[in-house]
Each structure stands twice: as C-alpha cells, then as structure tokens.
C-alpha cells in the first residue's frame, strides 16, 4: 500500500498546478472498511479532540451547561459574531477574564489578534479555567501536561483506546498538550466515544449549534447543518478532519499530508459521497481558487 494517496488536485486555467496528498481511514467496530494510504501513519491530534477536552472539563466542573456553551468549548471558532458572543457569555458565567486565557496574540512576531477571546481555541481554554476554578486547581499553569485537567484528558484518551501507556506529546498551537496517534487510532478514538452518554450530549450540542463549531463556511459546520443529528464533525490543524456517522456508528478520519486547509472541504465531501454517507447534491461547497481581486482563477478537484 502506498503511504500517501493523491486526494485532490488544484487547477489554474485547466492546467494542473498542485496536488494534495493524504491518508484516510473509514472504520467500524475496530475494522477498517476503507482506507486510502497507510492508516498507521502518525500525527498529532490538534483541535480534532476538542470534544474530548470538553467532556473532561465538564466532568471536573460537575455542572450542566447550556448547549451553546458546550458547542463553543468544542469549537475552533472563526470570530463570527455569534461565536464571539458565546465566548464572552461563557467567560461572564464563570467570572473569568481575557487575561486568564493563556493563548498567544502573536504569529511570526506579528500581532494578529486584538483579544485572546478571538483565538480559535478560546472556548476550550475558558471551560478548562472554569473547571480548574471550581475545583481549586491552579489557574496559572493549566497548560502544563502535569496539571490535573491535562492529566485527566490524557487518561480519558487512554481509556477510549483501551491502553495503559501514556502518549507521546507535543505542544499545540494554543499552548496545550497535543497527542501523537495513528490515523487508525484517531478513528477508533471517536468510536469509543459513542458508548458514553456524556459524549452523546456533547454531540447533540454541536448539532444544535453547528455553525458555532467551525464557522459558516467550514466543512464540519456545513456537514452538521445540512444533516442535523446524523453526524458529528470536527476539523483540526495541519489538514485533519474527523467525521462520525452517529447512525451507522462508523468514523472517517482524513489527514492532508501538506497540512493545508484549502482542500479539506473538497476531499471530505468526496470521501463521504464515496462511502455512501451523503448524496452528491446534499450541500454545496466552494471549490474555486481566488486571486486578490476576488476573481475565480482556478479550482480544487477531488481525485478519489
């Protein structure tokens, strides 16, 4: 089996310009039903595991939250008005303030955010802080891997995969730990979540507020918006995507090897059509490449 597969091509004036290679794994009850590339390939989980981080924070918080707060805690938000509204309301609910969120405002030494609330991980950081505050944990070191909340998250990951050894870890873009798993392990991770009623509540909240989870034009939000209650979907940095079919109890994980975001909607939709989860005309995505004038000058096309 080839380690990576040609998943999408970029054309400009009908001429091939770029190719996006990747890996995908479609799994049910531990059995790989379809695969593209080497599903033993490992990478970091990034924001794809936000529903797991949400579950652990909720368990530590020991408090029932409104659906919109669960959705924004599980989100990688894009600073849309309703997303920022729920971020501010979540902070107010637990008496938290912006300066307590330990995410950066800089990228390549350039200020890119006016507020830490604008960071796409602000929701999960706020919920972690709320949980830490409730239990009397330190708030100034909640990012560290040995903090009680981060230890509980890793323990939950181990539980979901039925393993008793810790994971290799690195630091995510927002400063929190991120975990090194194979594509197949990631697919199994989310299937393990289907057996837990608390995850069912999180998935319901994400489906209740699908546009909160990503954004109006993000593929995870589009999928849940157009197929309410059927899927839970969550994107991650470096070309990651997880889609769980809640009816079939199957999962699909996609990893775009170059880490690019731009081909993710095209590849995700094409694979979901290929395995029979959605119809071709169930919703539309924009496949065009635009120049700085806003003109459509090319197109991304799935190869599978």
The reported pLDDT for the residue numbered 1 is 54
- What is the CATH number that goes with domain 5-302? 3.40.710
- Judge contact between 74 and 56, C-beta under 8 A: no
Q: What is the pTM of this model?
A: 0.96
The reported pLDDT for the residue numbered 95 is 98
The reported pLDDT for the residue numbered 108 is 66
Q: Vertex 169, ends 168 and 171: CA angle to 5°?
A: 165
Q: What is the pLDDT along the chain (304 residues), one digit of tens a residue?
A: 579 999 999 999 999 999 999 999 999 999 999 999 999 999 999 999 999 999 999 999 999 999 999 999 999 999 999 999 999 999 999 999 999 999 988 766 677 888 999 999 999 999 999 999 999 999 999 999 999 999 999 999 999 999 999 999 999 999 999 999 999 999 999 999 998 999 999 999 999 999 999 999 999 999 999 999 999 999 999 999 999 999 999 999 999 999 999 999 999 999 999 999 999 999 999 999 999 999 999 999 999 9
Domain regions of the chain by residue span: 5-302
Three-state secondary structure string covering 66-121: CHHHHHHHCCCCCCCHHHHHHHHHHHHHCCCCHHHCCCCCEECCEECCCCHHHCCC
The reported pLDDT for the residue numbered 250 is 98
**Residue position matching structure tokens 């669960």:** 70
């Amino acid at each position: 089996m080839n380690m990576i597969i040609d998943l999408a091509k970029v054309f400009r004036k009908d001429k091939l310009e770029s190719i996006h290679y990747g890996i995908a794994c479609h799994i049910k009850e531990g059995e790989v039903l379809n695969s593209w590339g080497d599903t033993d390939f490992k990478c970091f989980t990034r924001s794809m595991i936000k529903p797991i981080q949400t579950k652990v924070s909720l368990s530590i918080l020991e408090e029932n939250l409104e659906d919109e707060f669960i959705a924004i805690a599980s989100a990688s938000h894009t600073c849309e008005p309703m997303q920022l509204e729920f971020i501010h309301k979540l902070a107010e609910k637990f008496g938290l303030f912006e300066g307590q969120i330990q995410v950066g405002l800089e990228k390549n030494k350039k200020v890119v955010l006016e507020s830490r609330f604008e960071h796409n991980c602000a929701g999960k950081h706020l919920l972690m802080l709320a949980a830490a505050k409730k239990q009397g944990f330190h708030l100034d070191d909640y990012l560290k891997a040995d903090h009680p909340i981060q230890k509980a998250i890793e323990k939950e990951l181990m539980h979901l995969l039925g393993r008793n050894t810790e994971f290799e870890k690195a630091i995510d873009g927002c400063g929190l730990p991120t975990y090194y798993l194979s594509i197949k392990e990631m697919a199994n991770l989310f299937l393990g979540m289907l057996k837990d009623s608390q995850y069912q509540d999180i998935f319901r909240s994400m489906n209740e507020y699908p546009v909160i989870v990503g954004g109006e034009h993000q593929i995870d939000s589009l999928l849940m918006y157009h197929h309410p209650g059927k899927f839970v979907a969550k994107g991650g940095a470096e070309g990651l995507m997880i889609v769980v079919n809640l009816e079939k109890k199957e999962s699909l994980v996609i990893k775009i090897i170059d880490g690019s975001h731009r081909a993710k909607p095209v590849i995700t939709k094409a694979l979901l059509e290929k395995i029979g989860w959605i119809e071709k005309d169930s919703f539309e995505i924009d496949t065009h490449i635009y120049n700085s004038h806003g003109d459509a000058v090319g197109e991304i096309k799935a190869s599978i």
